A and B are shown apart, each in its own frame.
Chain A
């Protein structure tokens, strides 16, 4: 079974630009979560989608948004990039079961200059 696939793996953007990251979950997994990881803050929850609906949102500004498509693939968008948005963005998927663990993709390393 293929794992969680995130594209692109690396991105370099300039302040003020916007970026879209993509995530394809494990086949059959309908929940997709996004996390931001930085050395100072660790893993911070961004949002979680299930059946194209955002069920949970972390404490991030409105510049961070996401969506999920009918095939469970998800995208997250960051507008008006700031230097502090430089981070590893991780997507994780899980089956419908509430107690199931998350399985992470390889992440997208975003550098904002």
Chain B
């Protein structure tokens, strides 16, 4: 079992729709969770961090954390073509971040 698992996609959504990205992790003791966005040929860019159960909103992005079920999700409202990228879920384990393989999101105009 991988430490951090994501559906590789691609996830295709029409412009203006809500994109829902999911991630599960295996280490029940994990406390810090992050979502990164990576455009093709670029480096990962931090979008959201979440540390406690529940929802955290930042603009069009909402991160959701459920530690009991060991999953983290990212919702992107009013999706735009510029949101098309790979979204990486990361879980902090000690002094390192463990990344999922990423979900490719395609927003069609």
Residues of A within 8 A of B (CB): 31, 33, 35, 42-43, 45, 48, 50, 55-56, 58, 88, 90, 92, 98-99, 101-107
Q: Is the CB of A45 within 8 A of B96?
A: yes
Contact with B95, one of A42, A56, A104, A107 (Cβ below 8 angstroms): A56
- Chain A: CB-nearest residue to B42: A106
Cβ distance B36 to chain A, nearest Cβ, rounded Å: 8
8 further A-B contacts with Cβ under 8 Å, apart from A98-B95, A101-B46, A104-B36, are: A35-B99, A56-B94, A56-B95, A56-B96, A101-B49, A102-B46, A102-B97, A104-B44
Cβ distance A86 to chain B, nearest Cβ, rounded Å: 15
For B43, list chain A residues within 8 Å (CB): 88, 90, 104-107
7 contacts between A and B (CB under 8 A): A35-B99, A43-B88, A55-B95, A58-B96, A98-B32, A101-B46, A104-B36
Question: In whole angstroms, how far apart are the Cα atoms of A56 and B88 in the complex?
Answer: 21
**How many residues of chain B get a CB closer than 8 Å to chain A's CBs?**
23
For A55, list chain B residues within 8 Å (CB): 95
For A58, list chain B residues within 8 Å (CB): 96
Q: Is the CB of B97 within 8 A of A99?
A: no
B56 adjacent to chain A (CB < 8 Å): no
- Chain B: CB-nearest residue to A42: B101
Q: Considering residues A58, A98, A102, which has the most beta carbons from chain B within 10 angstroms of its beta carbon? A: A102
Contact with B51, one of A88, A99, A104 (Cβ below 8 angstroms): A99
- Chain B: CB-nearest residue to A88: B43
For B96, list chain A residues within 8 Å (CB): 33, 45, 48, 56, 58
Question: In whole angstroms, how far apart are the Cα atoms of A104 and B39 in the complex?
Answer: 13
Question: In whole angstroms, how far apart are the Cα atoms of A102 and B44 in the complex?
Answer: 10
For A48, list chain B residues within 8 Å (CB): 95-96
Cβ distance A98 to chain B, nearest Cβ, rounded Å: 7
4 closest pairs, A vs B, by CB?
Answer: A43-B99, A104-B43, A99-B32, A42-B101
